[in-house]
Amino acid sequence: MSTKTSNEKPGSIRARSEAVILAAAQKEFILQGYKGATVQSIADTAGLPKANVLYYFKNKENIYHAVLQLTLDTWDRGIGDIDSSQGPVVAIEKFIAAKVKMSFEHPQASKIYAMEIIQGALHLKEFARTYLRQWVREKAKLFQVWIDNGEMKNVDPVKLIFLIWSTTQHYADFETQILTIMNRADYEEDDMTQVTEFLTDFILRGCGLKP
Amino acid sequence: MSTKTSNEKPGSIRARSEAVILAAAQKEFILQGYKGATVQSIADTAGLPKANVLYYFKNKENIYHAVLQLTLDTWDRGIGDIDSSQGPVVAIEKFIAAKVKMSFEHPQASKIYAMEIIQGALHLKEFARTYLRQWVREKAKLFQVWIDNGEMKNVDPVKLIFLIWSTTQHYADFETQILTIMNRADYEEDDMTQVTEFLTDFILRGCGLKP
DNA sequence: GTCTATAGCTGGATAGAC
DNA sequence: GTCTATCCAGCTATAGAC
């Protein structure tokens, strides 16, 4: 993971343009889907002429790949690891907190990722088959050790990981629905805190790590 | 909810064609997105000429609306209610079982719904603002009564509903990822049973309804 | 590096024969 | 009710002036 997308000086005109385009593209791909997002709409959102966008990225497919790469880098930076040094309670607490933070701070990344998976993960199959599968197996092993040592209840570790993923990502992917149901325009300051507390509390109890 | 999409005789040629087209459209809309799915591709999947598809549905937008309506009807039939007559344990058990069943038996419906929400819920805002918001408030009130009566732990009822939705739907929406990680081609017979058991067990414990 | 113009193609939708 | 042919809008991508 963490493959640098490009490697020019950070302040350069190219670097800045690419960043603006990618942010615009991410937004458009989420709202309109791959086919629905047009190079023109991406350019408009980025505030650049269409030709410039194609000058930097050659073609639409390349833009999409760059957006996906950005998404995976974000994922990796946000929750690349589980801290297993201090036992299951701390590990789960930190893991949930990191995932919730990701969902509230980078909902776009979560949404792009979710859409890719729902649509069959054509571009992410390789990522899932290698990196992600490995990741899940490693972390599941950690949990299994704690279970075998009687440090936590016997809950299927893989299903536990899926549960933590789904409950945390939900606040990013289903943002629109959650806000509509709660009759609110945006998440507020302490929504993230409350969600983190609720999920940590609930999941620790589910793992038999809390009264 | 439960608005009949059309009302001709079930055996009629029109009824059969419409059903075939909608099933094909659902598949295509998931795989390619709204813009990416072409009337031609829907027709091909349905095994009909393009003109016939447009003969039945007038235009692409109408096909999509019909698919969404079908999705909401499925949602409604599957988990339209929570049985509150026998206390929180039975209510939660039945609710989880119904949602998991939905996810394994109608993953397409869940996927179409998820994509709509992720993309901003343009077509479902009204459904969420009225029906869904009301539904959540009613059910939350049930949980609140049980909490006030000391029949279950004090967990935020709305967040609990979101948690049950997210964990159950995950097995439909992220099907591809789950199967890839577990290195399997398809879900098998007892996957549904195991997931139901795991989630029921875990969530009841989270609610303080199990040792 | 920026932008205009346009070639070339795809796809939605209709007309009209059967 | 079924299907072919076709029109036209909109999109990607490139050529080339500045």
Q: Of A118, A128, A202, which has the smallest distance from its Cβ to B115's Cβ?
A: A118
Residue B25: the pLDDT is: 97
Mean pLDDT of chain B: 94
Say whether pLDDT at B4 is over 50.
no
Residue A148: the pLDDT is: 98
Report d(CA A112, CA A34) in Å as an integer: 10
Report d(CA A44, CA A37) in Å as an integer: 11
Report d(CA A178, CA B133) in Å as an integer: 9
- Chain centroid to CA B170: 11
Domain with CATH 1.10.357.10 in chain B: 81-206
Say whether pLDDT at A5 is over 60.
no
Are A176 and B117 inside 8 Å of each other by CB? yes
- Under a CB-based contact definition with an 8 Å cutoff, are residues A118 and B111 in contact? yes
Are B206 and A206 inside 8 Å of each other by CB? yes
Q: Of B35, B162, B203, which has the smallest distance from its Cβ to A33's Cβ?
A: B35
Strand D close to B198 by CB, under 7 A: no
Q: Which of A97-101, B79-83, B122-126 has the lowest mean pLDDT?
A: B79-83
Say whether pLDDT at A4 is over 50.
no
Confidence of residue A7 (pLDDT cuts 50, 70, 90): low
Residue B7: the pLDDT is: 58
% of chain B with per-residue pLDDT over 90: 88
Q: What is the mean pLDDT of residues B134-147?
A: 97
Q: What is the mean pLDDT of residues A176-183?
A: 98
Mean pLDDT of chain A: 94
Say whether pLDDT at B8 is over 70.
no
Which residues in chain B are closer than 8 Å to A128, comparing Cβ atoms? 176-177, 180-181
- Under a CB-based contact definition with an 8 Å cutoff, are residues B94 and B83 in contact? yes
Are B173 and A114 inside 8 Å of each other by CB? yes
Please, which positions of strand D sit below 7 A from a protein CB? Answer: 1-5, 10-16
Domain with CATH 1.10.10.60 in chain A: 13-64
CA quadruple A180, A181, A186, A192: dihedral sign: negative
Domain with CATH 1.10.10.60 in chain B: 13-62
Question: CATH classification of B13-62 is 1.10.490.10, yes or no?
Answer: no
Closest CA to A194 of B128, B111, B156, B68: B156
Strand D close to B49 by CB, under 7 A: yes
Question: Tell me, which fold does domain A81-206 have in CATH?
Answer: Tetracycline Repressor; domain 2 (1.10.357)
Report d(CA A95, CA A138) in Å as an integer: 14
Q: What is the mean pLDDT of residues A100-115?
A: 98
The dotted CATH code for A13-64 is 1.10.10.60
Report d(CA A82, CA A93) in Å as an integer: 10
CA quadruple B86, B90, B92, B95: dihedral sign: negative
Report d(CA B166, CA B163) in Å as an integer: 5
Measured at the CA of B142, the angle between CA B94 and CA B98, to 5 degrees, comes to 20
